[in-house]
């Protein structure tokens, strides 16, 4: 009986421990472009960061180019805040490789890059 209670308590404690979002420090270069580059998501997209908590990028959301990291171009959501969830919440911005492949997220507060489990082709429409 004691062993069963111990197993239940341990399982409960482990379930309550969220994984941290794995990230690596990166050098961010802010945009110096005069023209504003934006895109709109045509459909909702789900991306899974290292924490394992799926994040949905909403259809119709507008993303504005804000700079670069070594992994690609960084776009911040316009008129909203996008967050990654792990042990803590982190403000996040999309990192695109090429023209429309989401490869991860830039975390501006931590000045770090968080990759996703599988790159995702974004269904974009240009405004």
Tens of pLDDT, residues 89-114: 999 999 999 879 999 999 999 999 99
Contacts of residue 111, Cβ cutoff 8 Å, sequence gap at least 6: 25, 26, 28
User: Is 101 within a domain?
Assistant: yes
Residue 120 lies in a domain: yes
Distance CA 96, CA 20 (A): 22
Whether residue 4 is contained in a domain is answered as: no
Residue 10 located in a structural domain: no
Query: Token pair 């341990």 is at which residue?
Result: 10
pLDDT for residue 8 is more than 90? no
- The domain tally of the chain equals 1
37: in domain: yes
Q: What is the pLDDT of residue 99?
A: 79
Contact 104, 119 (CB under 8 A): no
Q: Does the global pTM surpass 0.75? A: yes
Q: Is residue 16 part of a domain?
A: no
Range of the structural domain that residue 120 is part of: 21-125
Q: Is residue 11 part of a domain?
A: no
In a domain, 7, yes or no: no
């Amino acid at each position: 009986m004691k062993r069963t209670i111990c197993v239940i308590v341990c399982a409960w404690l482990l379930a309550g421990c969220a994984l941290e979002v794995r990230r690596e420090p990166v050098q961010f270069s802010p945009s110096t472009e005069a023209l504003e580059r934006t895109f709109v998501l045509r459909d909702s997209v789900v991306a899974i960061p290292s924490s394992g908590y799926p994040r949905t990028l909403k259809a119709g959301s507008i993303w504005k180019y804000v700079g670069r990291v070594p992994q690609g171009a960084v776009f911040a959501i316009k008129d909203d805040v996008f967050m990654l969830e792990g042990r803590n919440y982190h403000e996040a911005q999309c990192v695109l490789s090429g023209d429309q492949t989401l490869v991860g997220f830039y975390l501006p507060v931590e000045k770090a890059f968080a990759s996703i489990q599988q790159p995702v082709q974004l269904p974009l429409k240009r405004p």
